[in-house]
């Protein structure tokens, strides 16, 4: 009888880190109204930080900020802004400073994704993803860096593992995330002498997120038939734990790194859909494809 397959546990950060590790700290998070970045924000708040979440949709931001405050007992405020617009980001930063007086941590997490072949990808669609992911990361850093220097704080940029190999129908996102990695690495070298650290978290396929919905075509997020050394898809708490660690004093000598959080899946990753059939016959995955924005 074959041995059973190991399934990694899902662990809450409170089982490892002190509750007050971020007491008195302030987090500024783009994309914090939902998904991965909301989960990261919640974890960091549970360990003592107050937070500002930034996004385009005011209603969702307000609801998420209220929920995060109630869950953690800390203060979370919404700041509506578009990361593609430097002025709106600067206004969000100013709102943060007026309320909390400083910024210690920044998560650059605003992102966009859909599936499209290069041959069917409009120039506008490609540009839009670059503007949200890559330019949005740059704009966020530019707006916050004077305050993060003062606090000798840290950045986390949210990337992906798609560009480690050629991933069909993801040229736009792969290019954007490669740029995010490069910006973070340069930031680490430029700002290290000022006491600022910058690292990247690269999620694998993550259950319960918009990215997973896009890639799976609304199929179940269960890992049936999915090859992964640790037996399951990435979960948001896995990414939240990585963020808590990278912002913690335990990571004070870690900067300029890209940390995949994927259960080792990238070492075994094949294609998420049949290859080469899906490339030769795009109609076979038509429901997943979107060529224009």
The CATH number covering residue 219 comes to 3.40.50.720
CA angle 283, 285, 287 (to 5 degrees): 95
**Around 267, how many Cα atoms within 13 Å sit in the side-chain half-sphere?**
8
CA–CA dist 220, 208 (Å, integer): 9
Q: Which domain holds residue 213?
A: 16-288
177 is catalytic: yes
* Residue of 38, 74, 95, 177 marked catalytic: 177
DSSP 206: B
Distance of CA 102 to the CA centre of its chain: 22
Judge whether 207 lies within some domain. yes
4 located within any domain: no
Residue 8 backbone class (left: φ over 0; alpha: ψ -120 to 50; beta: rest): beta
Q: How many domains does the chain have?
A: 1
Tell me the C-alpha distance between 133 and 145, whole Å.
Answer: 18
For the chain, the residue count is 293
The residues pairing with 260 across neighbouring beta strands, listed in sequence order, are 202
Please, how many CA atoms are within 13 Å of residue 161, restricted to the half-sphere of its CB?
A: 20
Among residues 77, 67, 27, the alpha carbon closest in space to that of 47 is found at 27
What pLDDT, on the 0 to 100 scale, is given for residue 216? 55
Helix (H, G, I), strand (E, B) or coil at 199: strand
Q: Please list the residues that pair with 80 across neighbouring strands.
A: 55
In a domain, residue 272? The reply is yes
Residue 3 lies in a domain: no
Residue-by-residue pLDDT tens, the chain, 293 positions: 667 778 888 898 988 999 999 999 999 999 999 999 999 999 999 999 999 999 999 999 999 999 999 999 999 999 999 999 999 999 999 999 999 999 999 999 999 888 899 998 999 999 999 999 999 999 999 999 999 999 999 999 999 999 999 999 999 999 999 999 999 999 999 999 999 999 999 998 888 776 666 555 544 444 445 578 888 889 999 999 999 999 999 999 999 999 999 999 888 877 667 788 888 888 777 777 765 44
Domain annotation covers residue 6? no
Give the pLDDT confidence score for residue 162 in this predicted structure: 93
Strand partners, 78: 53
Residue 10 resides in a domain: no
User: How far, in Å, are 108, 110, 132, 183 from residue 176 at the CA level?
Assistant: 13, 12, 9, 11
Per-residue pLDDT, 220: 45
Model pTM above 0.95 = no
Which of 159, 184, 198, 278 is catalytic? The answer is 159
Q: What is the pLDDT of residue 84?
A: 97
**Does any domain span residue 1?**
no
**Cβ partners under 8 Å of residue 62, min gap 6:** 78
pLDDT for the residue numbered 49: 98
Alpha-carbon distance of 157 to 160, in angstroms, equals 10
pLDDT of residue 223: 47
pLDDT given at position 226:
58
Helix, strand, coil percentages, rounded to 5, for the chain: 50, 15, 40
75 inside domain: yes
């Amino acid at each position: 009888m074959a041995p059973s397959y190991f399934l990694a546990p899902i662990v809450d950060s409170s089982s490892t880190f002190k509750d007050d590790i971020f007491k008195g700290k302030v987090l500024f998070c783009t994309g914090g109204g939902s998904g991965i970045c909301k989960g990261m924000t919640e974890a960091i708040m549970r360990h003592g930080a107050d937070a500002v979440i930034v996004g385009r949709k005011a209603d969702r931001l307000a609801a998420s900020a209220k929920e995060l405050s109630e869950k953690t007992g800390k203060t979370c405020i919404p700041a509506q802004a578009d990361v593609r617009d430097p002025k709106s980001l600067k206004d969000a930063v100013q709102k943060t400073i007026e309320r909390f007086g400083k910024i210690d941590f920044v998560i650059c997490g605003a992102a966009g994704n859909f599936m499209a072949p290069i041959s069917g990808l409009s120039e506008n669609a490609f540009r839009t993803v670059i503007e949200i992911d890559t330019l949005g990361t740059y704009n966020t850093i530019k707006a916050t860096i004077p305050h993060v220097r003062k606090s000798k704080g840290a950045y986390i940029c949210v990337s992906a593992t798609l560009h480690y190999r050629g991933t069909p129908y993801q040229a736009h996102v792969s290019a954007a995330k490669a740029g995010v990695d490069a910006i973070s690495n340069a930031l680490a070298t430029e700002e290290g002498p000022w006491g600022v650290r910058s690292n990247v978290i690269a999620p694998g396929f993550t259950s319960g997120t918009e990215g997973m919905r896009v890639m799976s075509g609304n199929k179940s997020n269960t890992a049936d038939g999915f090859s992964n050394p640790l037996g399951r898809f990435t979960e948001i708490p896995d990414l939240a734990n990585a963020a808590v660690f990278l912002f913690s004093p335990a990571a004070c000598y870690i900067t300029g790194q890209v940390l995949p959080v994927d259960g080792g899946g990238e070492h075994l990753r094949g294609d998420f859909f049949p290859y080469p059939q899906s490339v030769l016959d795009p109609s076979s995955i038509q429901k997943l494809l979107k060529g224009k924005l």
